[in-house]
Amino acid sequence: MKQRLKKLPEPPLRPQLVFFHERKPVVRHGRQILAFHTHLHLGALPDPLNDLWYIDNLVHQKVRPRVQKLLKTTSEENRGVVIKPWVWEHHASYNLKDYYSYRHHQDPDLVLDYQNSDLLF
């Protein structure tokens, strides 16, 4: 797929990607571990990538078999991959919430460069 680079649209019209890890203490088999899970927020995608069904199918068919540590369960209470639509009220500042819990740990820096990114706050 060779395409010439076109002028990118201005935000919020260009495709958007926010990728971050969330960590939380969890008790498992009588031991406390620090569990990680990953969020990948996509926005302003072209067809068919803006269809939740298409993304879900793409992840399960192409990504899941190649990622060893990806949780493979599909039960409603413990799904390894959850595809949800973006809800502004819930997601707009969601990736900043752990910053306040972990800011005094070894690496207190906020890894999101909010000044130089084109995220809309």
21 Cβ contact list (under 8 Å, min separation 6): 36, 37, 38, 39
Report pLDDT for 32: 94
Is residue 1 assigned to a domain? no
pLDDT of residue 98: 64
pLDDT on residue 11: 73
Output the pTM of the full model. Answer: 0.61
Structural contact between residues 34 and 24, judged by C-beta atoms closer than 8 angstroms:
yes
Domain range for residue 61?
A: 16-102
Residues of the chain with pLDDT under 70: 1-3, 5, 95-121
pLDDT at residue 51 in the model: 92
118 located within any domain: no
Domain assignment present for residue 8? The answer is: no
CA 51, CA 41: separation in Å to the nearest integer? 14
113 domain residue, yes or no = no
CA–CA distance, 101 with 105 (Å, rounded to integer) = 9
d(CA 38, CA 45): 20
Q: What is the pLDDT of residue 54?
A: 93
pLDDT at 107: 53
User: Are 101 and 93 spatial neighbours (Cβ–Cβ below 8 Å)?
Assistant: no
pLDDT of residue 102: 62
Residue with tokens 């990728």: 19
The answer to the question of residue 121 being in a domain is no
Total domains, the chain: 1
